[in-house]
A and B are shown apart, each in its own frame.
Chain A
Amino acid sequence: MKRIALAVLLLALAPPARALTQPEALGLVSTLDERTHNNGDFAGLCYLEQKEKDKSDVVYELVYYRRSEGQRLLMLFTKPKSEAGKGYLRIEKNLWMYDPGTGKWERRTERERIGGTDSRRGDFDESRLAEEYDVRWEGDEKLGAYSAHRLVLSAREGADVAFPTLRLWLDSATGNLLKRQDLALSGRLMRTALYPRWKKVWSESKKGDVWYPEQIYLYDEIEKANSTMVVIKQVDLRSLSPNMFTKAWLEAKSR
């Protein structure tokens, strides 16, 4: 009985979790950005499993390429057959979509659902959260077995982002992103992302590790029955062809 009373007393007297200052919180997000940044090229193979209400599950396969210089990104669907040849290309902050069926390019926004799934461009790109958002520490909490910092990110004036507010849970021990919530301007939760597994690969161009989430679970919080699982494999950081990030290259590969 005495032991229990002592334990309760100790818990009551224990100092509350120290609030992170704004620079400290921003530092955590900057570290997250820096980890995904390669300072060179990046290639990966990705599978997207889309679950939608009243529809059968669809699995997409796509290859995607990134180049840190110019923040370029290229995505090319390879499976299923009906989607093969479709692609996205980010040039100078513009996201373009190519449809081989019509042979046309269409400009898309940051809100574009990649291939109609719950994934967005940002899920495949280098993280630039510290650039695009102001960061505030909201609290510390347990997320399953992990202790996590909960941060709130608000879009900076003029930033072209899909969600004006984000809530992030970062592993207190490793700094890895564990969970992310995307909120609408109204404050309504729109999407939740879980990052159960992070991997790192050595980058010659960066002279350091580049981190990427091997799995992401995306849940549509508006249409509750919809969700997407993203699996990233075969990451390769070798230099890519200089002419890759062009419309002509993607069109040629689509044929």
Chain B
Amino acid sequence: MLLVDFQIASRNLLRHTRRNLFLGGALAVTTALLVLLNGLADGMKASLLESATTLMTGHVNVGGFYKITSSTAAPLVTDYQKVLAETKKHVPELDYYTVRVRGYAKAVSEKGSMDLVLGGVDVAHEPGLRRILQRVDGRLDDLQEPGTLMLFEDQAKRLEVKVGDMVTLVAPTTRGQSNTADLRVVFIAKGVGLMSAFSSFLPAETLRKLYNLREGNTGAIQLYLKDHRKAAEVAARLRTRLAAAGWQVLDSDPKPYWMKLFQTIPSEDWTGQKLDMSTWEDEMSFLSWIFSAVRVLSTILIFVLMAIVIVGILNTLAIAIRERTREIGTLRAIGMQRRKVRWLLLLEAGLLGVISSGAGAAAALALAAGLNRAQIDVPEPVQMFLMQQHLFLATAPAGALGYAAILAAVTTLASLLPATWAARLQPISAMHHIG
């Protein structure tokens, strides 16, 4: 019986090819847009995760602040080997870790100046950096020499320097005294979105010297987990366990460390060492507005498109019912129940919804795969917001099917009203209808 219903619904759809193609096309485009926009947002997040966890943060960071006086704060972890040993005990999910010196300084060249968030690295032990940083000029290996600096392309332009030029970094030591370091630019890399607007790298030892740090002190221990989704859970666990082991630990505050260094920490009255656990999402929270903006914009767009689709369905079915009033009257006269009439019309709309949104989702998946394979270069101004050098859409078949199902359900629900009108038609008056 169900098969017969499907046959009737399919034939009815095929009888009005042009109208249904138009409506189905709109549904397919809406589904495809939904899949692509979400793919873009997820792609941005995936790119951010990859570049951020290489450039600036681990999945979880065991960082901290040291305050000699209540007004002088430095981003550092003292005796980090002890902290690391205790941390390892409580993180069975740990894949690997890196140790980074953190800093913030004013970079001054002959022609310009700008503020930089600094990462003190041992480039020989940071294979991820090599993967992410794309060369414009110079050699990344030269960053192993003390007194050297790596800049991103835009920073080099702003400071008007090239490989071999000198840049002076001005920063306070942990004791709050002014210090400087004259560094030679050895590597210039292509930008990687917003992060490359302000972050830069230099040898850990050089940054240690600028901050006047002892050997056993560092900026943060960056933990990389086997599953990055467990970051918040691991950070919360470490907060409790390290506090229980005797360290002073700051409460969770989802901000990047450099914001805390300038906004929160100097206003607090304590002195000494406090550890601070953060996740990669905390460290990147200053970029969350971009994701929110993309999500809000895509939601608005989808709502508008859905409203158009619903109006289209209402209109199309109303026309269809008007055209088929006599047919419906005849069906009712030969004994078809109202429920059956409603069911047939709902099935018709549902079928249209499933086929169209399914086709839209499939087309979107194919398009996304094609775009990803094409490695399309994102224009530089747009890179800042998309956080990608090449366009990447993170689309998954399961997600696309989900969106198709939502669109099909919306289509079916939208047809409920006209289907009910049709079911209510009196057989005698319907048969006499001239349309």
Interface residues on A, range: 20 to 34
Q: Which of B69, B71, B178, B267 contacts A185 (CB 8 A)?
A: B178
Which residues of A are found within 8 Å of B146, using beta-carbon distances?
none
| Interface contact B70-A111, CB-CB below 8 Å | no
Question: Which residues of chain A have C-beta atoms less than 8 A from B267's C-beta?
Answer: 105-107
- The complex places the Cα of A222 from the Cα of B166 at a distance, in Å, of 13
Distance in Å: Cβ of A108 to nearest Cβ of chain B:
7
Q: Which residue of B lies closest to A93 (CB)?
A: B69
| Interface size range of chain B in the complex | 20 to 34
Contact of A188 among B71, B177, B180, B212 (CB under 8 A): B180
Say how far B127's CB is from chain A's closest CB, in angstroms.
32
Please choose the segment from A32-40, A77-85, A160-168, A202-210 that sits at the chain B interface, where 4 or more of its residues have CB less than 8 A away.
A160-168
Total CB contacts across the A-B interface at under 8 A: 64
Residues of A within 8 A of B182 (CB): 188
21 contacts between A and B (CB under 8 A): A95-B71, A108-B266, A109-B172, A110-B176, A155-B177, A160-B72, A160-B176, A161-B177, A162-B177, A164-B178, A182-B178, A184-B177, A185-B173, A185-B180, A185-B212, A186-B180, A188-B182, A190-B170, A190-B178, A222-B168, A222-B180
Q: B178 touches which one: A106, A108, A163, A223 (CB < 8 A)?
A: A163
A222 to chain B, nearest CB (A): 5
Binary CB contact string for chain A from 87 to 124 against chain B (1 if under 8 A, 0 otherwise) = 00000011100000000011111110000000000000
Residues of chain A lying within 8 A (CB to CB) of residue B113: 223
Closest to A163 in B: B178
C-alpha gap A93/B68 in the complex (Å): 13
Binding site for B on A (CB under 8 A): 93-95, 105-111, 155, 160-164, 182, 184-186, 188, 190, 222-223
The answer on a CB contact under 8 Å between A108 and B71 is: yes
Nearest B residue (CB) for A110: B176
B residues near A (Cβ < 8 Å) are 68-72, 108, 113, 168, 170, 172-173, 176-182, 212, 263, 266-267
B242 to chain A, nearest CB (A): 26
A186 x B181 contact (CB < 8 A): yes
A163 & B177 in contact (Cβ 8 Å cutoff) = yes
- Quick check: A111 and B180 within 8 Å, CB to CB? no
Known: A160-B72, A184-B170. 18 other contacts (CB 8 A): A93-B69, A94-B71, A107-B267, A108-B71, A109-B266, A111-B172, A155-B177, A160-B71, A163-B177, A163-B178, A184-B178, A184-B180, A185-B179, A186-B179, A186-B180, A222-B108, A222-B170, A222-B180
From the candidates B71, B179, B180, B181, name the one contacting A107 in the complex (CB within 8 A): B71
User: Bound state CA distance, A169 and B121, in angstroms?
Assistant: 42
A111-B72 Cα distance, complex, nearest whole Å: 10
Nearest Cβ on chain B to A148's Cβ, whole angstroms: 24
Interface centre among A105, A160, A182 (most CB of B within 10 A): A160
A162 to B69, CA, bound (A): 13
Q: Is the CB of A190 within 8 A of B180?
A: yes
Please tell me if the beta carbons of B266 and A107 are within 8 angstroms of each other in the complex. Answer: yes
Once the chains bind, are A160 and B180 in contact (CB under 8 Å)?
no
Q: Which of A94, A164, A182, A185 has the most CB of B within 10 A?
A: A185
CB-CB < 8 A to A95: which residues of B? 71
Query: Nearest Cβ distance between residue B177 and chain A, in whole angstroms?
Result: 5
- Determine the chain B residues whose CB is within 8 A of the CB of A163 once the complex forms: 177-178
CB <8 Å contact, B179 and A184 = yes
| Ranked 8 nearest A-B pairs via Cβ | A185-B179, A188-B180, A184-B180, A164-B177, A107-B266, A107-B71, A184-B178, A186-B180
CB distance from B182 to the nearest CB of A (A): 8
* Pair A109/B71 contact, Cβ less than 8 Å: yes
Q: B71 contacts which chain A residues (CB < 8 A)?
A: 94-95, 107-109, 160
The CA of A188 and the CA of B179, in the complex, are separated in Å by: 8
Which A residues are CB-close (under 8 A) to B108?
222-223
A155 contacts across to B, CB distance below 8 A: 177
Contact A107–B70 (Cβ < 8 Å): yes
Q: Which residue of B lies closest to A226 (CB)?
A: B113
| Separation of A105 and B268 alpha carbons in the complex (Å) | 12
Which residues of the partner chain B approach A106 to less than 8 Å between Cβ atoms?
A: 263, 266-267
Q: Output the nearest chain A residue to B268 by Cβ-Cβ distance.
A: A107
User: Are B176 and A111 interface neighbours, CB within 8 A?
Assistant: yes
